[in-house]
Structure 1
């Protein structure tokens, strides 16, 4: 169980993470919140008395998301200036927490749902490895899909270290800074993409779009542009995203008949920490059972981009069956996919 010093420290830890991710404005806000938080209002008290583990719960980013959304709204000029890199942060934040207590409190109710199309570039590297191992045709199952931007992975255009993938005329281009040996240039055909989230977001809803924009760090305006373009794609052609528990949904999907020559792929990014021990163990059991049943004609793969918080990076891990059951780290990456480094 956390206590006030632990919860304050979480903001300083998040500040260090943001600084390492080249987000100095957000780092400055997080660092200032560590001391600006007070018990004057309900938001401050709830943060300081947070009962869970503040880092896995993404407590700092919940509050920063709400503050950034307020800054973007323009209703608090000092807060808007702060998220542009100006002003004295502790005084501004202390007042803002008091003035906007009722507006900020609901942002603590759930974890931030970071919807970043660039993460699809990291996942695509794993999918290319699967295609090279087992053939080009993939059936993708994503858990923790949030607003479904990764479910557009078959509609984006990618340039991965000079390797072109996807639709040449796509309105969203995923071009990360590539480091190391490029991925294999192999045929890939994503036959179907489906996703689940415990509380999926409709990014085409203006209120939801405002919320998602708040979660994008102020240091990264290019991410706002990509979010807008990807949201337009969702509006034009919605994805297959349903509400549900990841474990139950995945169990049902794995039980479905699998066509010959199609690789079934479990895919996820920055969701594992939110599932809890019981769900993680259940997914491991289900994947082990499905792996035992996998054949050359009906392969199974697991592609995941998840954080190593100690090293402050994301790791792309791929397993596939038959023949490649040991987890293999193919790359490390920026948390939002800005760069990918082959390992």
Structure 2
């Protein structure tokens, strides 16, 4: 099936079995194609073609027999990340025509050969979900904080991020934002985030971050070159500006690393919410492209913890929840907010590109 014929079909993220594996790969092809990532679409399409063959050795046998939910596990991106790492490390020159955007017609053969040659290297990439930490998403959080300040919440924020990965968004106090004509953050920052802005600008104003802590079940240490390479491998190669942002984030982490606990999201949140509240500070839970990886029972407990914490929030010590997550029905990422007291229901502020290229404001 040609890439342009692949269709994104809403399906049960928890579905398992061979049909679910095939659907996960077709969905990923369509998603990458529609988000301006033809190289990654080609890689995922080549892997999809290999599902119907005997090529790819033990790696593809494990993919074909995947026991878990292939869509929720982001199975296509696990394999694609490993292949991209091979290219970035210069270990597989034969993949260069693919990653240079030349669109070779024998991409499936090139990828099958690479998988079979590097089986021991690629197999561990199947063991865990992709790490897609992206500084560009911080622009969404900055816009949401400006909106919350406009609602009357204190402008000093205490961040609690779940699924922090390498903590790139935890360092957002050091970034500069240009949001539809509204500026925020230090003017001298090396990291300047200027997403294409659609719609009205967010409220003008200012905010500060007085504390920033996060958690991840498998945090990434950006000061370790091997772990930094792994994170770069999950960047879609089409988006060269993301590599520049990653280099800036690595520099920032080397000068002052973010605080990331190796914990489950619910345990971290319970710990953070149990700390004494500081008046004049907005405590905020934030997360981006992580909710789908958290088990349903844990998501329910997180929601209950936030609603219980919200019931105890005051105007001088409010609680907020900022989410940038995929809507499985519309296939778009939505920036949504809840806060206590006063804004207990979810309010969608924007839709956004998953890697920060644009924000369409509706707040």
Tell me how far 1:8 sits from its aligned partner: 2.3
Tell me how far 1:276 sits from its aligned partner: 0.8
Structure 1 contact 151–239 (Cα < 8 Å) conserved: yes
> Per the alignment, in what secondary structure is the counterpart of residue 135 of structure 2?
coil
Name which of 19, 27, 31 aligns with 1:5. Answer: 19
Name which of 6, 9, 28 aligns with 1:14. Answer: 28
Partner residue of 2:8?
none
Q: How does 1:226-237 map to 2 (within 5 A)?
A: 226-237=245-256
Partner residue of 1:169?
188
Structure 1 contact 8–35 (Cα < 8 Å) conserved: no
Partner residue of 2:92?
76
1:206 aligns with 2:206: no
Tell me how far 1:135 sits from its aligned partner: 2.2
CA distance in 2, matches of 1:282, 1:117: 28
Partner residue of 1:324?
343
Structure 1 contact 139–193 (Cα < 8 Å) conserved: yes
> Per the alignment, in what secondary structure is the counterpart of residue 173 of structure 2?
coil
Q: How does 1:146-157 map to 2 (within 5 A)?
A: 146-157=165-176
Number of residue pairs matched?
A: 343
Name which of 298, 322, 336 aligns with 2:317. Answer: 298
CA distance in 2, matches of 1:175, 1:187: 17
CA distance in 2, matches of 1:332, 1:216: 21
1:216 aligns with 2:235: yes
Q: How does 1:47-62 map to 2 (within 5 A)?
A: 47-62=63-78
Structure 2 contact 135–168 (Cα < 8 Å) conserved: yes
> Per the alignment, in what secondary structure is the counterpart of residue 296 of structure 2?
helix
Name which of 214, 225, 237 aligns with 2:244. Answer: 225
What per-residue deviation string (whole Å, max 9, x for no partner) do you get for residues 160-192 of structure 1?
A: 111100011111001100000100012212111
Structure 2 contact 220–228 (Cα < 8 Å) conserved: no
In terms of mean alpha carbon deviation, does 172-181 or 65-74 score higher?
Answer: 65-74
Tell me how far 1:309 sits from its aligned partner: 3.2
What per-residue deviation string (whole Å, max 9, x for no partner) do you get for residues 262-289 of structure 1?
A: 1111111111111111110000110111
- Specify every segment of 5 or more residues in structure 1 that has no aligned partner in the other structure, as ranges: none
Q: Which runs of 4+ in 1 moved over 6 A?
A: none
Q: How does 1:134-153 map to 2 (within 5 A)?
A: 134-153=153-172
- Specify every segment of 5 or more residues in structure 2 that has no aligned partner in the other structure, as ranges: 1-14
Structure 2 contact 74–129 (Cα < 8 Å) conserved: yes
CA distance in 2, matches of 1:155, 1:75: 35
CA distance in 1, matches of 2:126, 2:340: 40
CA distance in 2, matches of 1:226, 1:18: 20
Partner residue of 2:215?
196
In terms of mean alpha carbon deviation, does 156-165 or 301-310 score higher?
Answer: 301-310
- Superposition RMSD on alpha carbons, in Å? 1.2
CA distance in 2, matches of 1:315, 1:48: 32
Tell me how far 1:71 sits from its aligned partner: 1.5
> Per the alignment, in what secondary structure is the counterpart of residue 153 of structure 1?
helix
TM-score, with structure 2 as normaliser? 0.92
CA distance in 2, matches of 1:6, 1:245: 27
What per-residue deviation string (whole Å, max 9, x for no partner) do you get for residues 180-219 of structure 1?
A: 0100012212111111111111011010111111111111
